[in-house]
Structure 1
Amino acid sequence: MKFAMFTAATPDWTPAEVVSHLAEQGWDGVEWRVTDQKPAETPSFWAGNKASWPLTGLEENLDAMREVVAGSGLEVSALAGYAKCHEREDVERLIKATAALGVAKLRVPLPPVADDQTYPQVFDQSKADYQWVAKVAADHGVKALIELHHKTIGASASSVLRLIDGLDPDHVGVIHDMGNLVYEGQERTLWAAQMLGPYLAHVHVKNALWQETGTRDDGTVDHAAAMVTLRKGQVDLRTYLAEITATGYDGWITCEDFSTDLPLEQRCADNLAYIKECLA
């Protein structure tokens, strides 16, 4: 098993600082966030994130991306792109960049579903898009990854398996993500891993919790999910990892902790210690 940190969760550090801190703490790899983002005076997970590589000009940054990890002992577990599977020009650019870097995997997400869309419409379009993604990924020797994610047609293992069934698992895989499943798509982890079989290609760990947000005049209690530390969320990481690994999974475990209870350096170190503790 190898352990990586997703740089969406390290917004205060530059790529060089990410590599330095992760190597010092004993991580095995880094998972780079690749996207054009809004500027921000204060870095945050989603805007002004210093540890992100821009999609614009990506090709000109490939040497820098190689050099920043060279000699550190870290591997690049994957590139985490934000170009959706139907955004073909950008997806192809990302696939080519992933191959040029010698990285094995690239996240190619499904688009969020609009309220006025029907399941058949979204399914047919997404299936056609991912058939194209699979072909381009195969042409370049890369594996494209769908992350189980709420508010998409692939929120659960069973729903995404229906979408990609029949595609080559050497070039299409699934990211199982325990935190996203708190929002939508929760299935028993062991069965989900067994169901996905060779498509289970990557694992993300973060955690979330449903919390009361208010009470309506008629007494109905409203709830919303929020990101919390690995230790505090609804998913028991120890049980989760036991069920994931029970089917033979022995790949990357990438942490993407979007909580802010602890300072970033302490948060990263504690996450690695806790993940290893839960696997022991």
Structure 2
Amino acid sequence: MRFSVTTVSTPEWTPEEAAAAIAAQGWDGIEWRVTDQEPADEPGYWAGNRATWPLTGLEESVPEILRITNEAGLDFSAIGAYVQASDHDNIERLLAATAALGAGSVRIGVPHVPVADYRAVFAATRADLEWVVERAAVHGVKVLVELHHGTIISSASAAYRLVEGLDPERIGVIHDIGNQVIEGFEDIGTAFQILGEYLAHIHVKNAVWWPNGQQGPDAQVMWEHNWSTLRDGQIDIDWLFRALVSIGYDGWVALEDFTDLSTPRDERLLDSLQFLHGSYQRALMWAEWVAAEAAEADAVEEVQTEGPDVEA
């Protein structure tokens, strides 16, 4: 398993600063954010993010992206874009840039909800993805769609319906457990079974719900969600890694960190990396224990089946 950082998580840093810091900490890769964003007086995750490459004219940025990534000694875990599957011109731009970078895969967007007619939007998106997959094959890359709250594929079940029957070599699903704290949660092991060969990438973050102090009708408690550190969220990250190890997943796990803490960014990223390595190692030890228990049970069953070797 390999670990990377999405640069949506590093809004204060320039691309050079982000790549250098991520590499120095021992991360394996980087997932560059690509979008035309709004300007901002202060850097933020979604606007004014300094570690974001513009979508418009992306092809002109390819040499610089390659230089910065290679000089840092990092690999591409993916390209993190937001272009809707229906935007064919920009999808073509993304696919060509991903191929030129040798990045392997690129995330694209799907429609948000609510929509006037969910089934019609779902069907139209599926038709767009059929075209996208054809173009991805021409460019020799893979497109990724993400389990995300507020979209037409917040759950593994919905995502599987969207991609079922398409070439899994050219399209896959990003499982994001943090997003599913908010909407779309299904048992992690079950979700992986549902996605099957379409499970292509992992985003990891955590989140929490808490009473916001407001009251609804008849004194109903109102709740809000927010992002948290990996340690403090509602999802047991060890559970995620046990499920990944159990299916033999050996791909990328990319960190997304949207928390607003006073701790410096580099300290937060390093703590996350150490936590992820620890969780992965605990999952490997758990798998060894499970295998040993199964082997012992099989041995006992075999002895009991054969019975004692005693002559009548």
What TM-score, normalized by structure 1, do the two folds share? 0.97
CA positional deviation for 1:216: 2.5
Q: Which residue of 2 aligns with 1:155?
A: 154
Question: 1:107-256 counterparts in 2 under 5 A?
Answer: 107-115=107-115, 117-213=116-212, 214-256=214-256
Q: Which amino acid aligns with 1:42?
A: E
Q: Which residue of 1 aligns with 2:264?
A: 263
SS of alignment partner, residue 19 of structure 2:
helix
Deviation per CA, 1:22-56, whole angstroms, max 9, x where unpaired? 11100000000000111111101011100000011
Q: Which residue of 1 aligns with 2:289?
A: none
Q: Which residue of 1 aligns with 2:291?
A: none
SS of alignment partner, residue 79 of structure 2:
strand
Q: Answer yes or no: is 1:274 the counterpart of 2:287.
A: no
What residue ranges of structure 1 are gaps of 5+ in the alignment? none
SS of alignment partner, residue 12 of structure 1:
coil
Q: Which amino acid aligns with 2:230?
A: L
CA distance in structure 2 between the aligned counterparts of 1:113 and 1:136, rounded to whole angstroms:
26
CA positional deviation for 1:263: 1.6
CA distance in structure 1 between the aligned counterparts of 2:72 and 2:33, rounded to whole angstroms:
19
Greater percentage in helix? 2
CA positional deviation for 1:114: 3.1
The runs of 4+ residues in structure 1 deviating greater than 3 Å are none
Q: Which residue of 2 aligns with 1:37?
A: 37
Q: Which has the higher contact order (CA 8 A, sep 6+)?
A: 1
What residue ranges of structure 2 are gaps of 5+ in the alignment? 282-312
Q: Which residue of 2 aligns with 1:55?
A: 55
Q: Considering only CA atoms, is the larger Rg found in Structure 1 or Structure 2?
A: 2
**Number of residues of Structure 1 aligned to a counterpart in Structure 2:** 279
SS of alignment partner, residue 55 of structure 2:
coil
Q: Which residue of 2 aligns with 1:5?
A: 5
CA positional deviation for 1:217: 4.8
Q: Which amino acid aligns with 1:215?
A: Q
Q: Which amino acid aligns with 1:4?
A: S
